[in-house]
C-alpha cells in the first residue's frame, strides 16, 4: 500500500515558508520594497493554485521556490520592457537604487554580504540565496534549476570560490 501525503492548510504553508521565499526573492533583487511586492505576488499565485499542488512530486518549499522564481522572471521581463520604453510611455517607473538599500543595513557583516551579492550575476545570486538563505540541499536546487545534484555541487564550489575572492578575508559561514 502507498503512503498518503496530507497537505497542510495554506495558512500554515504561508507562515512556515514566508521567510524562505522572502529571503530567496530579496537575495535576487536586493531591494526590500520590491521584494515585498514580489513575495505577495508569489503567495497569491500559490494560494490560487494550491489545489493543484502535488506533495508526491515536490516539497512545498520547492514548489513555492519555483513559483517565486517564475514570478521573478516575469518581473525581469516587465522591467526590461519598462526600461526600453520611452519616458512618455511610463514615467512612473523608477529603477531601484541599490545604494539606498545598502544604507539601511546596520551591521558590517550585512553590508559585506549585500556588497558581495550585488557583485554576483543573477544566476549566481539565485544559487547563493537557495544555498545560504534557504539552506536547500543540492537535490532540491537541482529540481528547481533542472540540473543534477553533481552539477549543483560544482556550481556551488565555483560560487563559494568567487565569494571568497570578493570578500577577501570575510567568511560566509
The predicted pLDDT at position 118 comes to 87
Q: Tell me how many helices (H) and strands (E) the chain has.
A: 8, 0
pLDDT, mean of each 10-residue run, the chain (173 residues): 67 95 92 94 97 91 96 87 45 43 61 85 93 92 94 96 83 49
The 10s digit of each residue's pLDDT in 62-79 is: 999 999 999 999 998 887
In angstroms, what CA-CA distances link 46 with 18, 55, 96?
12, 14, 26
pTM: 0.73
Q: Does residue 10 contact residue 51 with C-beta atoms inside 8 Å?
A: no
CA atoms within 13 A on the CB side of 128: 26
Amino acid at each position: 500500500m502507498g503512503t498518503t501525503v496530507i497537505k497542510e492548510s495554506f495558512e500554515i504553508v504561508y507562515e512556515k515558508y514566508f521567510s524562505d521565499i522572502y529571503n530567496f526573492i530579496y537575495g535576487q533583487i536586493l531591494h526590500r520594497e520590491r521584494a515585498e511586492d514580489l513575495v505577495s505576488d508569489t503567495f497569491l499565485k500559490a494560494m490560487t493554485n494550491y489545489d493543484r499542488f502535488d506533495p508526491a512530486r515536490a516539497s512545498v518549499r520547492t514548489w513555492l521556490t519555483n513559483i517565486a522564481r517564475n514570478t521573478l522572471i516575469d518581473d525581469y521581463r516587465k522591467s526590461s520592457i519598462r526600461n526600453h520604453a520611452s519616458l512618455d510611455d511610463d514615467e512612473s517607473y523608477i529603477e531601484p537604487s541599490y545604494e539606498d538599500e545598502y544604507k539601511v543595513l546596520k551591521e558590517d557583516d550585512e553590508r559585506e554580504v549585500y556588497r558581495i551579492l550585488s557583485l554576483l550575476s543573477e544566476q549566481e545570486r539565485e544559487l547563493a540565496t537557495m544555498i545560504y538563505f534557504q539552506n536547500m540541499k543540492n537535490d532540491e536546487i537541482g529540481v528547481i534549476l533542472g540540473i543534477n545534484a553533481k552539477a549543483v555541487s560544482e556550481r556551488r564550489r565555483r560560487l563559494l570560490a568567487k565569494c571568497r575572492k570578493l570578500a577577501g578575508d570575510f567568511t560566509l559561514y
